[in-house]
Structure 1
Amino acid sequence: MFATAARWAAKKGKPKMAPIELTTPPEQTQSITRAIFDVVREHGPLTISDVWDHVKDVGLRGLTSKRQMKIMMRWMRERQKLRLICDHDGPHKQFLYTTWFTNPKNAPPRPKPERNPRGDHHLPHPKP
């Protein structure tokens, strides 16, 4: 019992993440966040890749990379403009971004990836 208490006391807590400070000008930040918010609101719960594809189609000048978009989306999550939900599909997880006021149960269903009938991740190799 003493060993359990010692192990519990020795655990370090989760490190606190510092708030994100954006380096872009406020006008540019506002236009980028508005475009990202509109894409997520219009097209429902989206993955990072889906958001990036839609934002590329919009053609924002201030957004230079997917990495910058991910930082902006994390900043938006801190300010409760977007939220991250987890969609469980059996053993598979999918993380989706949605607006804070959207009910994920009312969202349109996501297309399921094609799977092997046996449920394997890989297709069987042909025999030589």
Structure 2
Amino acid sequence: MFGTAIRSMAKKPKPKMKPIELKTPPEQTQTITRVIFDVVKEHGPLTIAETWDRVKEVGLRGLTSKRHMKIVLRWMRERQKLRQICNHVGPHKQFLYTTWFTKPNIKQAKPVNDSSTPKPP
């Protein structure tokens, strides 16, 4: 017990990440965040890939790439405009973005190996 306490005290803490500073003009940032917020609010908890597909459907010109969208999502999380929830199914994790005001009605992903269904020979 004493050795565990010593080992945990000896570890360096994780360094703090500096806040994200977006390089786009404020008007463009506001447009991008409003569109992303509306997409997430309308279509419920979404993964990053699903969010990217929905934003592409809208046809937002200010967003240059999926990487840019991920940076904006992290920026929105820092400012508590969106929140990230984790969906656990066995060993699999799925991170979903949602607004603060919606109830998380998470669709449970189906397990890969289901023992209740008979396997074909």
Taking structure 1 as the reference length, what is the TM-score of the superposition?
Answer: 0.81
Alignment of 1:1-128 (within 5 A): 3-104=3-104, 107=105, 109-110=106-107, 112=109, 115=112, 117=114
Q: Which amino acid aligns with 2:82?
A: L
Whole-Å Cα distance in 1 between the matches of residues 2 and 89 of structure 2? 41
CA spacing shift, 1:23–1:5, aligned 2, 3 Å: same
User: CA offsets, 1:47-100, max 9 Å, x none?
Assistant: 000000000011111101000000000000001010000011222111100001
Provide structure 1 residue ranges, at least 5 long, that are not aligned to the other structure.
120-128
Q: What residue identity is the alignment partner of 2:23?
A: T
CA contact (8 A) 2:89 2:111 kept: no
Letter in 1 for 2:27: E
Instruction: Indicate how the Cα distance of structure 1 residues 7 and 115 shifts in structure 2: closer, same or farther if over 3 A, else same.
Output: closer
**Considering only aligned residues, what root-mean-square deviation do their CA atoms show, in Å?**
2.3
Decide whether aligned partners of structure 1 residues 61 and 117 sit closer, same or farther in structure 2, where only a CA change above 3 A counts: same
**Aligned residue type for 1:32:** I
TM-score computed with the length of structure 2 as normaliser: 0.85
**3-state SS in 1 of match to 2:93:** strand
Relative distance call for 1:4 and 1:91 in structure 2 (3 A) is: closer
Change (3 A) 1:113 1:9: closer
Q: Tell me how far apart the structure 2 counterparts of residues 42 and 80 of structure 1 sit (CA, whole Å).
A: 18
Question: Structure 2: 5+ residue runs without aligned partners?
Answer: 117-121
**Residues matched between the structures, number:** 118
1:53 and 1:118 map into 2 onto residues whose CA distance is: 33
* Identity across the alignment (%): 72
